[in-house]
Structure 1
Amino acid sequence: MTWPELQQELTRGQVAPVYLLYGEEKYLLAQAVKALKETLLSPEAEPFDYQEFAGEDLVPESLSVLASTPPVLGRKRLILIKNARLDGEALVTYLTHPSPTACLVLIAPGNIDRKGKVFQLLQKVGRCVDFAPLKPGALARWLAQEARRMGRKIEGPAAMALAQAAGNLQQGILELAKLDLYLPPGTPITLQEVQALVPAALASDTIFQMVDALGSGRAEVAIGLCRRLLAAGEAPLGILGMMVRQFRLILQAHLAGPDSPDLAVALHLPPFVAQKVARQAARFSPEAASEVLELFLQTDVDLKTGAGNPAFLLERAIWAATRRGKRVG
C-alpha cells in the first residue's frame, strides 16, 4: 500500500487494527502517523488513549496487555512502536488475534523481509505502507504542492532542481522553507533562486546540463561541463552513471513511443523533461543508443581498473557517444 491509498482509506473512516509503516520518506511517514492520530483521537482523548514506545524498550509479552486496555475517550487506543522488531512469538500471537479496541502502528527501520511470516500476517490482518523514496519527478510535484500551500509558485525547472538537490521530501521542504523566508512574499521561486540559495542545486543542475548537452549531440558543451564537475570534486563514476541514465531514458522513450502523450508518465519524469528526452530520441536511434550504452559499459570497466586518466576516459566516451547521433533540424 502507498501513502495516497492510506489517505483515501482514512478519509472514508476505514482504520485497520494494525499498520506497518516503513521506508525512507520520513516526512510522509510522519504525515501518516499524524493522519492516524487525527482520525482516531480528539485532542482531549490523546493524553489518555495514545501511547508511544521504542521497540528496544518494550517487553514483547506486554503488547497484548497494552492493546486489550479499553480506550477512555477515543474510538480506539492508538499504540505506536518505533524501531519495531518484526520477530518473536509474542507479536505473531497478537497478530493472530488483534484487539478490536486498539490500533497498533509499527514503524520498522531498515530493509523489510516481505516474504517473512510476520509481514505476511501483517498484510492479512492490517496494512503495510511503503514510504519508498520518491522519484525526482514525483518529488518535484510534491515540492510544488508544498510551495502552493505556502502561498508560492515554483517554476518547473526550479522544482526539479530543488528535488535533485534535496534527494528526499523532508530535506526538500526544509530547503523550500529557507527559500520562503528569504524571498519577498508572493515572489515566484525560479531556478536562479534555487541555484543561489541551495548550494547542492548548482552541482545537480550542472550535471543535468551536461547529460542534456550529451543527449543533444553538443560534445564541446558536454565536455566543458564534465570538466567543471570533476574540478568541483564530483566522482567520475557518478558522472558516468548519469550519462548511462540519460541513454537508458532515450531507449525507454523509443519503447514507449517518443510522440506518445503518456511519455512523461512512462518515464516517471516531469513533462518538460520528457519532451527533451523525446527530442534526443529523434537524434539517437534505438540501435545507436544501445551502442552508446555498450561504450559506457567499457568506460565503466576502464575507470574501475585504472586503464587511463578519468577525465580522458569520460571525454573520450562523450565524443564517441555524440558521433553516433544523427544531425537533426
Structure 2
Amino acid sequence: MPRHSHDDLLRALGRSELAPVYYLHGTEDILKEELARAIVDGALQPHERDFNFDQRSAQQLDAEELHSLVNTLPMLAERRVVVIRDIEAWKKKASQRAVLTKYLENPSLDTVLVLVESAPSEEKRRDWEPDAEIVARSYAVNLEPLEPARVARWVAFHAKRLGVTFAEGAAEHLAASAGYELGALRSELEKFASLAGDAPVTREQVGDLVGVRHGETLEDWVDAVLGDELPKALALTTPVLEQSGCRG
C-alpha cells in the first residue's frame, strides 16, 4: 500500500473509512498518540469499548497472546480495535513476528489493528527506515514534526478543547517558546487550563508563564544570526541561554 500523511488519515476517518491495519511510525510520538485515539474513536462507540478495545505493548506480548488478540471476535459490536505499541521490539522476537506476518497476509475484517512504532533514538534516526513488510500490508502513516505554522494551529485546537482561548499572537508565541515541541506544549497547555479565566490569554501572559518574552525565543536568535543582525543576536544571547533547555 502507498504511504499516507497525517491529513490523509484524518480525512479518511472523517469519511468513516477504516483500514484493517494501521502502521504509525516516524519521530513525532505525540501525533501517533492522537491518531491512534482518533482511529479508536472512529471505529468504536464509547459503550462498545469495554469488550472490544485492547491496548498492549509489544514488549509484553508473547506469540500466543498476540494470536489471541488479533483473532478474537467482537462482542455486541461490528468490530474490535487492538492497539499495539513499541512494535520495534518484534524485530528481535521471531515467534511474535511470525504471527504478525501471517496475520498481515489476511487480516480480519472484524478487527482494526493499530501498530505503533516508537520514535528512533537520535543516534539511529539517520539510518532508520520504517518496516517495509508492514508498510506494504497496512495503511502506513509517517509522522514527523509539524511545521511551525501548523504547530500554532495545533496549540489553538488543543487549547480550545481545554477551555483556553488565546489572543492574537499568543498561540504563536507559546509554540515558539517551546521550540515547537508538542510534548512540551501539551504540558504548558495543561498549566494554562488550570489557570484559565474568561478572557483570552495574551502574548504577554504567555511570556510571564513560560518565562520567555516575545522577541526573545531561540527562533528569534537564530533569525538574527542568519539575518546578519549581530547587535540583536548578541542582545538575545543571554536571555536565550537562560531559557530552559538552552543553558550551556
Aligned length: 230
Task: Give the Cα separation in 1 of the matches to 2:115 and 2:156.
Answer: 30
* Aligned twin of 1:195: 207
SS at match of 1:53: strand
Task: Give the Cα separation in 2 of the matches to 1:181 and 1:69.
Answer: 42
* Aligned twin of 1:109: 118
Contact 1:44 1:73 survives alignment (8 Å): no
Change (3 A) 1:225 1:120: closer
Query: Per-residue deviation at 1:206?
Result: 4.3
Contact 2:216 2:239 survives alignment (8 Å): no
Aligned 1:269-284 pairs, distance under 5 A: none
Name the aligned partner's letter for residue 138 of structure 2. Answer: G
Contact 1:78 1:102 survives alignment (8 Å): yes
Task: Give the Cα separation in 1 of the matches to 2:194 and 2:136.
Answer: 46
Query: Per-residue deviation at 1:228?
Result: 4.8
Query: If each structure's helix is expressed as a fraction of its own residues, which one has the higher value?
Result: 1
* Aligned twin of 1:81: 84
Contact 1:17 1:98 survives alignment (8 Å): yes
For residue 137 of structure 2, the aligned residue among 125, 148, 154 is: 125
- The answer to whether 1:32 aligns with 2:41 is no
Structure 1 unaligned spans of 5+: 237-329
Larger Rg: 1
For residue 145 of structure 1, the aligned residue among 157, 163, 166 is: 157
Change (3 A) 1:176 1:105: same
Name the aligned partner's letter for residue 31 of structure 1. Answer: E
For residue 58 of structure 1, the aligned residue among 55, 58, 61 is: 61
Query: Which one is further off, 217-226 or 86-95?
Result: 217-226
- The answer to whether 1:134 aligns with 2:137 is no
1:82-130 per-residue CA deviation (whole Å, 9 max, x = no partner) reads 2123432222122112222211111111338536xxx333233321122
Query: Per-residue deviation at 1:72?
Result: 1.1
Task: Give the Cα separation in 2 of the matches to 1:64 and 1:206.
Answer: 50
Query: Per-residue deviation at 1:142?
Result: 1.3
Structure 2 unaligned spans of 5+: 92-96
Contact 1:55 1:83 survives alignment (8 Å): yes
Contact 1:165 1:204 survives alignment (8 Å): no
Change (3 A) 1:231 1:169: closer
Aligned 1:181-220 pairs, distance under 5 A: 181-185=194-198, 187-199=199-211, 201-202=212-213, 205-214=216-225, 218-220=229-231
Query: Per-residue deviation at 1:211?
Result: 4.2
Contact 1:153 1:189 survives alignment (8 Å): yes
1:160-208 per-residue CA deviation (whole Å, 9 max, x = no partner) reads 33112324223213313323443531x2333211111012x34982444
* Aligned twin of 2:104: 95
Change (3 A) 1:225 1:48: closer
Change (3 A) 1:212 1:190: farther
TM-score by length of 2: 0.77
Task: Give the Cα separation in 2 of the matches to 1:66 and 1:234.
Answer: 45
Which gives a bigger RCO, structure 1 or 2 (Cα 8 Å, sep 6+)? Answer: 2
SS at match of 1:152: coil
Name the aligned partner's letter for residue 114 of structure 1. Answer: E
* Aligned twin of 1:177: 190
Task: Give the Cα separation in 2 of the matches to 1:54 and 1:227.
Answer: 44
Aligned 1:288-299 pairs, distance under 5 A: none
Change (3 A) 1:220 1:128: same
Change (3 A) 1:124 1:204: farther
Name the aligned partner's letter for residue 176 of structure 1. Answer: L
Task: Give the Cα separation in 1 of the matches to 2:182 and 2:71.
Answer: 36
When the two chains are superposed, the root-mean-square deviation of aligned CA atoms in Å is 3.0
Query: Per-residue deviation at 1:219?
Result: 3.3
Name the aligned partner's letter for residue 67 of structure 1. Answer: V
